[in-house]
Amino acid sequence: MPFASLVSVKGKHRRKKLLGRGPGSGHGKTSTKGHKGQKARAGRDFYPGFEGGQSPLIRRVPKRGFSHRPKRRYQLVNLKQLNNFPKGALIEPKLLAESRLIENSNGFVKILGKGDLKSALTIKAHKFSAGAVEKIQKSGGKAEVIADSKNLHS
């Protein structure tokens, strides 16, 4: 379809409102601003929440409460998912992301104890469940906690 044959939708283009062009224009004399008052004047209009000089509600109400910090989200990996790695392998978040067990290697990782570990592995993660640590040590491996540099609460 050629560009020249395109037609814009009816009502898409509206004429500019011409102000102060005499009574015949419909927008003459007060230029749609009514008679006198703060809204009719030139210059700064008042802000949302302005109450005509009275102390605004937002300033009268006491400020209290706290600033919410978002909950830390862990990417979960079960022990049975780690059985495909060779014996003695060092398993880190980067390796888990490459093998598509987690989505983001920069995120937090927690190892859970579902399933059994068949070979001795050294696993580095941000958190381990108690059952996971027990099973890793039983298989002859090591569970090393990564000290997170992100200063967030857990």
Q: Which residues span the domain enclosing 87?
A: 74-145
What's 110's domain CATH number? Answer: 3.100.10.10
User: What is the mean pLDDT of the segment spanning 104-112?
Assistant: 93
- The share of the chain scoring above pLDDT 90, in percent, equals 58
Q: Is 106 a member of any domain?
A: yes
Q: Is 84 a member of any domain?
A: yes
Q: What is the number of structural domains in the chain?
A: 1
From CA 135, how far away is CA 54, in angstroms rounded?
Answer: 68
Q: What is the pLDDT of residues 25-62, one digit of tens each?
A: 889 999 988 998 888 888 877 888 888 889 999 999 99
Q: How far is CA 111 from CA 29, 43, 94, 121, in A?
A: 75, 63, 14, 13
Query: What phi-psi label fits residue 103: left (phi over 0), alpha (psi between -120 and 50 degrees) or beta?
Result: alpha
Answer whether residue 99 shows pLDDT above 60.
Answer: yes
Q: Is 130 a member of any domain?
A: yes
User: What is the mean pLDDT of the segment spanning 72-93?
Assistant: 93
Answer whether residue 121 shows pLDDT above 90.
Answer: yes
Q: Is 110 a member of any domain?
A: yes
Hey, how many other C-beta atoms are within 10 angstroms of the C-beta on 68?
6
Cβ neighbours for 79, distance < 8 A, ≥ 6 positions apart:
111, 112, 113, 114, 115, 116, 117, 132, 135, 136
The SS3 assignment for 131 reads helix
Query: What is the pTM assigned to this prediction?
Result: 0.54
Q: Is 67 a member of any domain?
A: no
Q: Is 43 a member of any domain?
A: no
CA atoms within 13 A on the CB side of 53: 1
Position 150 scores a pLDDT of 58
Position 131 scores a pLDDT of 95
The SS3 assignment for 130 reads helix
Q: Is 122 a member of any domain?
A: yes
Q: Is 113 a member of any domain?
A: yes
Give me the phi and psi of 57, to 5 degrees please: -55, -40
Hey, what are 149's tokens?
């540099």
